[in-house]
Amino acid sequence: MNTIVKGVLLGVAGLVTLVMVMLVAPLSSTSADSTDDQGGVQGVPPEYEPWIIRAAAACQHPELTPALLAAQIQQESGFRAQAGSHAGAQGPAQFVPGTWATWGRDADGNGRNDPHDIGDAVTAQGRLMCSLIGQAKTSRLRDDPRRLALAGYNAGWGAVQRFGGVPPVTFAGGETFHYVRIIMASMKKFEARPGGGLSVRGSGSGPDALRRAARYIGTPYSYGGGTPERPGTGFCDQRNGYANGRCAASSTVGFDCSSLVQYGYWPSLQLPRTAAAQFSATSDRPVARARLKPGDLVFWSNGSGIYHVGFYAGEGHVLHAPRTGRDVTVEPLDSAMPAADYFGATRP
């Protein structure tokens, strides 16, 4: 964010009004669907990934993708949490104190509202960029809303209005012009490949569900986390969700095994939430192991009940969210879980 006009960014009355409307407006089902295609992000430090995904998913404008936020952080700070500037900009998203006072919040729940905290900074960045994209889309300026929003983040929306778009290279030594150009050009390298690099053959509800879930390959496991619409934080019970003695699920944005399956098939087929319930809902359509097709559900049981579910991904592999500390991944079916626990498969 350019320090030239960063401190006066919120002085534009129209922007402030828009911000207030956006912060209180709930996401409609249409807007939630529009974020589904954002998928994941690649090439970012692991501590940034869940926050980037969450910040993009919280915005109703599909133009705000994880890749756009990642490219912007790269340009602002190179993913350095303690980054600073001579003009007082702080943290990975480079907020000056005046702007941080409006956009900053304790998003990570650690008791601090700190522009150097990754969760706080990325959340604030996402909220501001979401607002600016909304401003750009209603401005009638003839340019990509992403470019206009980036220019507003760097130079202030007043500069965008003054020049009728992205300020020219003659403005501020070309800082804003090149800021926008570099981010738009580098965004591609942060985009997770469609299907997470998994090649899915065929058409129909099974392959389609598998493709949808595969967008989140590399997303962390979060016990109890995830919804039919997006990854989310989870919770811990007496046995699950812990890592290194602390409750990891409550601060990890991701999926567990059954929420990933639920997400993949939603909304065309609204499966229940848990692995056991998903088996019960589909058990009237069993599939022999030799006849598995992409998108079929495979289940594991330890004798006291079904404890895990995944998608058959073809060629003897399964796509699943394994456990706390792991990411959504593709693994051989024989070793994804204990081989003796394999219980059977169904075709939703």
Examine the domain organization and report whether 184 and 215 are in the same domain.
Answer: no
The DSSP symbol for 255 reads: B
Examine the domain organization and report whether 186 and 199 are in the same domain.
Answer: no
Examine the domain organization and report whether 52 and 169 are in the same domain.
Answer: yes
More confident residue, 203 or 166: 166
Examine the domain organization and report whether 33 and 158 are in the same domain.
Answer: yes
Examine the domain organization and report whether 119 and 17 are in the same domain.
Answer: yes
Examine the domain organization and report whether 38 and 115 are in the same domain.
Answer: yes
CA torsion, ordered 304, 308, 309, 315, to nearest 10 deg: -110
Domain boundary among 145, 167, 190: 190
Q: Which domain holds residue 30?
A: 6-190
pLDDT of residue 200: 87
Examine the domain organization and report whether 169 and 35 are in the same domain.
Answer: yes
Largest CA distance in the chain: 71
User: pLDDT by residue (tens digit) across 18-44?
Assistant: 333 232 222 222 233 333 445 568 888
Confidence grade of residue 197 (pLDDT, cut at 50, 70, 90):
low
pLDDT of residue 293: 96
Which of the following is catalytic: 47, 49, 63, 76? 76
Q: 168 burial class (0-12, 13-18, 19+ CB within 10 angstroms)?
A: exposed
Report H helices in the chain.
13-24, 29-34, 49-57, 66-77, 97-103, 118-138, 145-155, 157-163, 175-186, 205-214, 257-265, 275-282, 333-336
Tell me the mean pLDDT in the region 280-293.
97
Q: Say which CATH number the domain at 89 has.
A: 1.10.530.10
pLDDT of residue 202: 86
Going from the C-alpha of 130 to that of each of 133, 258, 315, the distances in angstroms are 5, 30, 41
User: pLDDT by residue (tens digit) across 313-325?
Assistant: 999 999 999 999 9
Give the length of the chain. Answer: 348
The two structure tokens encoding residue 331: 């693994």
The upper half-sphere exposure of residue 45, i.e. CA atoms within 13 Å in the direction of its Cβ, equals 13
Q: Is the pLDDT of residue 9 over 60?
A: no
pLDDT of residue 39: 57
Q: For the chain, how many structural domains are there in total?
A: 2
- 314 sits in which H/E element: strand 306-314
Q: Say which CATH number the domain at 311 has.
A: 3.90.1720.10
Examine the domain organization and report whether 127 and 199 are in the same domain.
Answer: no
Examine the domain organization and report whether 182 and 297 are in the same domain.
Answer: no
Examine the domain organization and report whether 203 and 186 are in the same domain.
Answer: no
Tell me the mean pLDDT in the region 290-316.
96
pTM here is 0.56
Supply the angle between the helices 66-77 and 118-138 in degrees, to the nearest 10.
110
Q: Which amino acid is at 160?
A: V
76 is catalytic: yes
Examine the domain organization and report whether 149 and 214 are in the same domain.
Answer: no
User: pLDDT by residue (tens digit) across 100-137?
Assistant: 999 999 999 999 999 999 999 999 999 999 999 999 99
Tell me the mean pLDDT in the region 1-8.
47
Confidence grade of residue 297 (pLDDT, cut at 50, 70, 90):
very high
More confident residue, 261 or 230: 261
Cβ-proximal residues to 273 (8 Å cutoff; 6+ apart), any chain: 258, 259, 262
